Chain A
Amino acid sequence: MTGSTVTTGGAGAPAPAKDRSPDGNGKGPGFMAGPAGRLLGLVVAFALLCVVGAVTAPDRFVDIDNVLTILRLAAVVGVVSIGMTFVIIGGGIDLSVGALVALSSVWATTLATQQMAEDFHWIVMVFTAIAVGAGAGLVNGIVIAYGRLVAFIATLAMLVSARGLAEIIANRRTQIVQDQGFLDFFGGDVLGVPSLVVIWALVSVAGWVLLNRTTFGRHTFAVGGNAEAARLAGIRVQWHTLKLYVLSGVTCGIAAVMLMARTTTGVSTHGTLMELQAIAAVVIGGTLLVGGRGTIVGTVLGVLILITLGNVFVLNNLSSSAQAVVQGLIIVLAVLLQTRLAEGRGGFGWLTGSRSGRGESSSGGPVAGGTPAGAVSGGTSTPGAPGGDRPGTGSTP
């Protein structure tokens, strides 16, 4: 994903406006802009949503079975979202996750695989699903990291062809999971908690450790935050990018197993639009789409918010169409808030029409667009200023 050249800059032009940092003497961005503040905001949003649910459908919402339903639904998307979080923090995107879930589920439930599972152990199906996911992720990774294709296009192509392949393998039929051991294991519960939810929790914890307590995680932040700086610090950016997509593929494989257990089927329509749900959850969770910043806890909360919202709508007998509209609004709101907060502009200033931060106030206030988020909000670079554009620093080539 790195550019092939290093620019040397022209004639000592000072860094363009959008490159400058906010005032060095002031305190950093406000509390709400910090990771803790953002997570707190999510918790509050989630709590509000629960209050709305409890008020509008008091009997049905506050019910242990309903809670378990929400969690079970959230688990599958939740696992995929963990992989997606890594890819997005690393400066990429994976649109193929839904299709990979379908492909993995179909491949793991073919007659041949099920026969092997019967002869040996149902774990064969699990391994098959994960291997298929990882393999497809590897293809994504190779094409993106070494073929230098834009991640959006590469994974879009994978989305289309993986689902096509799933249809070919399943011959557009629904494949029933025969192995009772498999269904018992994944359909059961641990101390009253459904296995699926336990798996989601385990994957999330593992993801958190991997992101925050390993070299791999640190390199992910570096590659997504500034690929060129990461390369010049000796990180093998392409190799790392490849690993990120494999990781995403693995989570798709795990999700496929979970979906097979929940539905007792493998079918090529599994995971339809799951990529949108996962990306939405990650973004709601405060991970920057341009990379370099994000949290696992945020993603988990993002998934919970998204799924609980759906649940509240269903309990109130509202149509799924209305639900879709509201989901869209929430995504836009989340990104808007996120961008503003990341720019350290105190959140709601833009609502009250204070636009002073947009240009460069001579008082040396925080300069708009100093953050990677500036790229998301767009239009923060001053027209007429020479493009400070440096090959190889963008999140995508």
Chain B
Amino acid sequence: MVSKSLGVGVMTGAAGTGGNSSSGAPLLEMRGIVKTFPGVRALDGVDLDVRAGEVHCLLGQNGAGKSTLIKVLAGAHQPDGGRIEWRGEPVSLSNPQAAMKHGIATIYQELDLVSGLTVADNIFLGRERSRFGLARPAPANDAAGKLLARLGHPEIRPTAEAGSLPAAAQQMVSIARALSQDAKLIVMDEPSAVLDNEEVQHLFEVIRDITRDGVAVVYISHRLEEIREVGDRITVLKDGRTVATGLPVRDTTTRQVIELMTGRDIEFVFPDRRPVADAEPLLSVRDLGLRGTFRDVSFDVRPGEVVGLAGLVGSGRSEILETVYGARRATSGTVTVAGRRLRHGSVAAAVSAGVGLAPEERKSQALLLGDAVYRNISIASLARFVRGGFLSGGPEKEAAREQVQALDVRPADVTREVRTLSGGNQQKVVLARWLLRDCRVLLLDEPTRGVDVGARSEIYALVRELADRGVAVVVVSSEIPEVLGLADRVLVISDGSVVAQEPADALDEHAVLDLVMEGTVDPHRRADRKHATAQQHEGDVA
């Protein structure tokens, strides 16, 4: 979809052109950074260079490697390969303390303040000023007050408890902490995610202010319009690689950025769809709502059909799935499985009606990591292995073995601890759990998160095979191509409501992106897009 030449062209275009407020040698230079986790190559040769005094934006879809990269930068992860130069000198950031000593501070999305301590305590945490072993709050409070005033937030009292502050103020405290450590580079991981519009503007002022003093900021955000407003240069990551680095913001169009983010080197092979028989829906969701999260969600899934939910993080897509499953208690609407209405907020009811969920966070929400594979598979269907009140291990292992073979879990050893498997095989274990239970409705939340690129097509084929066997499948994914390739029908979720519901082949990635960014993309252009998509579709048909 993306022309290779575009990426290359942009990259060469960027080389040599200076950012608007920076000059000289880069403050930070990362070359060929590689980081692998068991079963996943999270970073596969990432380059990044940041100059003093600039706002460098890091872009990429979920799973592109942004978070891993900033953890490398923060000293929380050690790279397996590559080179990091800091002010022209090679450095090794072997732990967070080392990174901090060099002047690299990271402000994580989940703010890491100690909520029971005061603002001043938090700012000087680990570097408390004391005399004869006694803390001296007065000078600390003083210094904290000055820092916050410099950031334009004199209203934050240094003696206030950090946990009692709103998110925006907590963020300012984090920034103040970074500045108090004399940071030369501040990494901000989606700082705007927790802020409202006005607070974002405030944050931008602070960012402009500190960069004027020569501090560099690496800014991560999903919102392209923010980057346009505050950023100097852009680096785009995709599938663990740098696809473009050092693009000047002002010379790069939003369209180019989106294409860099979404274009793929690896075309995933999606299995062919079969026409879905015109049957009664197996899963029927009506006007489902969860107060404060989403509302009025209605859709049907027939046997053999795959329905996809597309949307940004925070749009409510995962919550919809969890509410259908009963893991969250719906505040309105109904969920019906094969004509039987499910009790709200009861997972047990959903499971006994034949619904299974493969949750987003496999390790924390689905697996008993220290347990054997077969025990993970059988946990939802133990009742069928009970003979005269006792579990019989033989049939249980045998049944698990059959599933392991059918799904090609490797290694095919059911007594192995599940923690030793790769992400893709762990996902297969979760699927095996529900297959063993003969479930009729399968809810998949991010089915390929943390799954190696090679293993993804296997998961896709598996999902399609299940559908062909008559299972009704609902897939949530933040990777739009995945939803489009896998699903028969797609619901686009934005801000807690369904904004579109169309057959998958009537949509393309850009159309979905535009839809999910509704409200941030100007409506005129969106209408344009829709129009274009429709035309394209017609063209396809002809």
Contact = CB atoms under 8 A, between A and B. Distances in A.
Interface of A: 5-15, 17, 19-24, 26, 28, 209, 212-215, 217-219, 221-222, 225-226, 228-236, 292-293, 359-362, 364, 370-372, 382-387, 390, 393
Contact of B360 (A9, A28, A382, A387): A9
B313 A24 contact: no
Given A12-B449, A218-B391, A221-B371, 7 more contacts: A10-B313, A11-B189, A17-B76, A21-B363, A23-B38, A232-B359, A362-B80
Contact of B96 (A219, A292, A384): A384
Interface stretch (B16-24, B103-111, B527-535): B103-111
B370 A293 contact: yes
Contact of A226 (B79, B94, B369, B380): B369
A21 B190 CA distance: 27
B38 A226 contact: no
A228 B417 contact: no
Interface in B402-426: 416-417, 419-422
A386 B363 CA distance: 17
Contact of A6 (B108, B327, B389): B327
A42 B327 CA distance: 41
B112 A387 contact: yes
Contacts of B366: 229, 232-233
A340 to B, nearest CB: 15
B63 interface: yes
Contacts of B97: 383
A382 B96 contact: yes
Contact of B368 (A215, A229, A360, A364): A229
Contact of A386 (B112, B378, B386): B112
Contacts of A362: 78-80
Nearest to A217: B391
A232 B365 contact: yes
B39 to A, nearest CB: 6
B62 A12 contact: yes
A292 B67 contact: no
A222 B379 contact: yes
A21 B365 contact: no
A393 B364 CA distance: 7
B163 to A, nearest CB: 14
Given A11-B222, A234-B348, A226 B368 contact: yes
A382 B77 CA distance: 9
Interface string B342-378: 0000011011100001011101111111110001001
A11 B112 contact: no
B500 interface: no
What interface size band does chain B fall in? Answer: 35 or more
B96 to A, nearest CB: 3
Contact of B363 (A15, A383, A385): A15
Contacts of A9: 360-361
A8 B360 contact: yes
B318 interface: yes
Given A24-B38, A359-B95, A209 B390 contact: yes
A33 to B, nearest CB: 10
16 contacts: A10-B193, A14-B42, A14-B67, A14-B450, A23-B38, A28-B420, A214-B389, A214-B391, A217-B391, A218-B391, A232-B366, A362-B78, A362-B79, A371-B369, A384-B112, A386-B110
B322 interface: yes
B276 interface: no
Given A13-B109, A225-B370, A235 B365 contact: no
B74 interface: yes
B390 A11 contact: no
A300 to B, nearest CB: 21
Contacts of B450: 14-15
Given A28-B417, A221-B368, A232-B327, A384 B106 contact: yes
Contacts of B37: 14, 20
Nearest to A213: B390
Contacts of A12: 61-63, 67, 313, 449, 478
B319 interface: yes
A381 B361 CA distance: 18
Closest 9 CB pairs of A and B: A12-B62, A384-B96, A234-B351, A21-B419, A386-B108, A8-B318, A24-B38, A385-B76, A13-B67
Contact of A384 (B40, B74, B94): B74
A359 B38 contact: no
A22 B38 contact: yes
B67 A228 contact: no
B363 A387 contact: no
Given A10-B109, A233-B380, A382-B76, A225 B416 contact: no
Contacts of A233: 351, 366, 379-380, 433
B228 interface: no
B75 interface: yes
Nearest to A23: B38
B336 interface: no
B370 A17 contact: no
Given A20-B38, A226-B369, A384 B364 contact: no
A361 B357 CA distance: 35
Nearest to A342: B370
A14 B78 contact: no
A229 to B, nearest CB: 5
A381 to B, nearest CB: 10
B71 interface: yes
Contacts of B327: 6, 231-232
A24 B112 contact: no
A222 B378 CA distance: 11
A30 to B, nearest CB: 13
Contacts of A10: 109-110, 190, 193, 313
Given A6-B322, A10-B193, A234 B347 contact: yes
A35 to B, nearest CB: 11
A387 B112 CA distance: 8
A21 B95 contact: no
B67 A218 contact: no
B419 A370 contact: yes
Given A14-B68, A218-B379, A364 B36 contact: yes
Contact of B348 (A26, A236, A364): A236
Given A228-B364, A385-B76, A372 B370 contact: yes
